[in-house]
Chain A
Amino acid sequence: MIRSEILREIAPILRDQLVVCNIGLPSQELHMIDDNAKNFYMLGTMGLSSSIGLGLALAQDKTVISIDGDGSILTNLGTLPTIANNVADNFILLIVDNGSYGSTGDQPTYAGKKTKLENVAKACGCENVVVCQDKDTGKVLQEAIDSKQMTIIVTKCDSGNIKLPVITMDPVVIRDRFMKAVAS
C-alpha cells in the first residue's frame, strides 16, 4: 500500500480525533479523502507535525494524532526526545514510513536505508513504540487510541503518490475552524 491508500483506510478512525497532518501530499490527500474541521493541515514548515501535535495534546485533553513521515521526522529528529520526556497520554504519533521524500519526488530517505526510526524512538526514551505493516495501520491505530497511552506508530509502506491539487483554503480559516473543533 502507498500512503494515500492507508489514509483512505484509516479515515473513519481519524474522523473522530484531532489530526495534525504533515505538509505536502499527506495533507492534500487527507483533505481530498475526508476534509473536516478536526484536521489541521500544514501548508508549510516541514518537520513540525509532531511538535504541533504534542503541544496540542499537552494543552488539552482530547486525543491528538500527528500524521508524520519518515523524512519529516528526520528533519526534526529532536522531537523524539521531547516527546519521550513530556508524556501526553492523549498523543499518538503516526509515522508513515515509506523510505522516501514523497512530496518532492520520492528521493530516498535514510530511514529507507540503515536508519530505523522505531529504534531511534526507543533510544530517545519513547515507551510505546509499535511497528506495523501498512495493512494493519487501522487496527494498530485504534488500539493506540483505546490504550490511552502515548504511542509512536511506525507503519511501513510503499513509496508512491497520487496526483491531486494543492490545498487552497486560507491558513487562518484552517486554524480557526480547527480551534473551534478543539474547543467544542
Chain B
Amino acid sequence: MSISSKIVDDFVANDVSFITTVPCKQLAGVIDEVEARPEIFHIPSNKEDEGMGLCAGAFMGGKRPAIIMQNTAIGVTINTLATLTQYYRMPLPMLISYRGELREPVACQVEMAVHTKALLNQMNIPTYHFHKEADADELDAILKYTFMCNKPVAILTDASFWGGYGDQ
C-alpha cells in the first residue's frame, strides 16, 4: 500500500470527512487520494487561513476536519490559529509538508523551514515530525489525540519521509 493511501486510511478510520488542501509537490499523492475517497469531502482552498475557516465551520457542523498544506503556511495562519482555532478550542489536524529540510532543492524553502518548529513551539501546538516512513504508524494515535484535546496539531512530513524529490 502506498504511504498516501495509508495516511488517508487513517483519516477515514478516524472519521475525518472534511479536508481542505493547498497544494505542495510533496503532497500531490495524498491530495489525489483525498480527492478519490467517497468518505471525504475535499475542498481546495486558495489560502490556508481561508481553509482553517472552512474547517472551523465544518467542525461546528458536526464533521471532523483536517487541513493539508505546506509549512510556509505557518507564516500565513498564525493569527487564525490563535484567534479562531485555539481561542474557540477546536481540533484541527494539520498534515504539513516540511519543505526546506534535507534534500531540498529550493533554497528559499529553507528560510521558512528554520522558523517552522520555533513558530509551532511558540504557539504551543503539539508537533510531530515524520522523517522515515515508519513514523506514519503514529498518525492514527495523533488523530485520536487531536480530537481528544480539541487543539490544532501539526504533523510535519519532510522530504526523506516522502522519498526525496525524484531526480533532483
Contact = CB atoms under 8 A, between A and B. Distances in A.
Contacts, number: 115
Contact of A175 (B51, B53, B82, B90): B90
Contacts of B80: 45, 48
Interface stretch (A27-35, A73-81, A131-139): A73-81
Residue with the greatest number of chain B CB neighbours at <10 A, chosen from A54, A59, A79: A59
A179 B61 CA distance: 7
Interface string B53-92: 1111111111101000000000000011011100111100
A53 B50 CA distance: 11
A179 B55 CA distance: 14
Contacts of B89: 171-172, 175
A131 to B, nearest CB: 24
Contact of A55 (B53, B79, B83, B87): B53
A87 to B, nearest CB: 11
B97 interface: no
A144 B123 CA distance: 41
B7 to A, nearest CB: 22
A183 B59 CA distance: 12
Contacts of A175: 60, 88-90
A76 B49 CA distance: 9
B43 interface: yes
B84 A78 contact: no
Interface of A: 20, 40, 42-45, 47-60, 64, 76, 78-79, 81-82, 86, 171-172, 174-175, 178-179, 182-183
Given A55-B59, A78-B47, 18 more contacts: A43-B87, A45-B80, A47-B53, A51-B57, A52-B53, A52-B60, A56-B58, A58-B18, A58-B57, A59-B57, A59-B63, A78-B45, A81-B46, A82-B46, A171-B89, A179-B60, A182-B61, A183-B62
